[in-house]
Amino acid sequence: MKVLPGTTGISIANQLTKITNDSLIKREITRFPDDELYIRIKEDITDENILIIQTTYPDENIIELFLLTHAAREAGAQQIILAIPYYGYSRQDKQFTPGEPISAKTLAQHLSLHADGIITIDPHKNHILNFFTIPAYQESVIPEIVEYLKLKKTTLLLAPDIGALERTQHAAKLINCDCDYLEKTRIDGKTIKIQPKILDVKGKNVAIIDDIISTGGTMATAIRELKKQGAAKVYATCAHGLFIADSIQKIQAAGCDMIIASDTIPNQFNVISSAPSILRALNHFK
């Protein structure tokens, strides 16, 4: 297998090839004067099995993934697997209101055009895998997050809402610690409300586990509640750190002791590598 990294996949590709000894494909990614993307694969990949690594966020990386995939197909690659560590648009996984697109679906259908398989990490909802018209699999960075949280002597895991409970319960089982959840109501894109609930957190190191941190509203509200109820340390943990606008300040101001994110989206909080989870997912194609 040869690995072709997109702009957002370079660090993951380096870690992955360190484990597998596979080689990175030389490629050029630049922009024309009008800012359109220019892509070129700079070596012979005829009949090779190719793994392209690229997150589909922000939007410009979607175009880059389309072009990388088509370039690999045109260059005669035999099998093209797309590893999409963070699958953007996964939250628009249905029509919430008539007239809307199913963004996760149309993106999946377009990405399926020139590829042979898809891997993604901790998708917001698993059913988005069915939108691809080629074999698609998901894996999770929870095992890696769990190892990290053990080092931080975490004794309680908290799901910020019922939707995150299954993921958090799975992590709690792996750490062998307690798990609880909050009841969150989303008022709008930026405002959420958490129902009052007495939690057994006094003196404990608590980690809140979510799939995505976006505006930071969910985390900040949960952290404030945990600190109010006497938690010793609170860690904000996610697979995908979007960290929109002032989210980081919001989370820190709420009393967060550490923000822990995987590297599916490159940012300053990438302490968890998603390379091992991508390798686990690749077993589906062996």
* Residues making contact with ligand R5P (CB under 6 A): 160, 163-164, 192, 210-218
User: In whole angstroms, how large is the CA radius of gyration of the chain?
Assistant: 20
* Identity of the residue numbered 142: I
β-strands 233-241, 23-24 pairing: unpaired
Q: Which is nearer to ligand R5P, 13 or 212 (CB)?
A: 212
CA distances from 230 to 158, 182, 183, 222 (A): 14, 16, 19, 13
Does a cis peptide bond (omega within 30 degrees of 0) precede residue 58? yes
Q: Which is nearer to ligand R5P, 77 or 172 (CB)?
A: 172
- DSSP letters spanning 122-188: S-SSGGGGGG-SS-EEEE-SHHHHHHHHHHTT--EEEESSGGGHHHHHHHHHHHT-EEEE--EEE-S
Q: Which is nearer to ligand R5P, 54 or 237 (CB)?
A: 237
Q: What angle do CA 235, 255, 215 make, to 5 degrees?
A: 75
Closest separation in Å from C-beta 246 to ligand R5P: 11
Measure the CA–CA gap between 215 and 180, rounded to whole angstroms.
Answer: 23
Q: Among residues 2, 26, 42, 184, which one is catalytic?
A: 184
Q: CB of 158: closest distance to ligand R5P in angstroms?
A: 12
For ligand R5P, give the closer residue by CB, 186 or 228: 186
Taking the complex as a whole, how short is the minimal distance between the CB of residue 189 and ligand R5P, in angstroms?
7
We find the least distance from the C-beta atom of residue 27 to ligand R5P, in angstroms, to be 32
> Considering beta carbons, is residue 68 or 265 the nearer one to ligand R5P?
265
Minimum CB separation from ligand R5P for residue 213, in Å? Answer: 5
Answer for the pair 52, 6: CB distance below 8 angstroms, yes or no: yes
Nearer to ligand R5P, 12 or 192 (CB): 192
Residue among 257, 187, 179 nearest 219 (CA): 257
- Active site includes 184? yes
Q: Which amino acid is at 282?
A: L
In the complex, the smallest distance separating the C-beta of residue 173 from ligand R5P, rounded to whole angstroms, is 20
Crossing angle of the two packed helices 165-175 and 142-151, in degrees rounded to 10: 50
Enzyme catalytic residues: 184
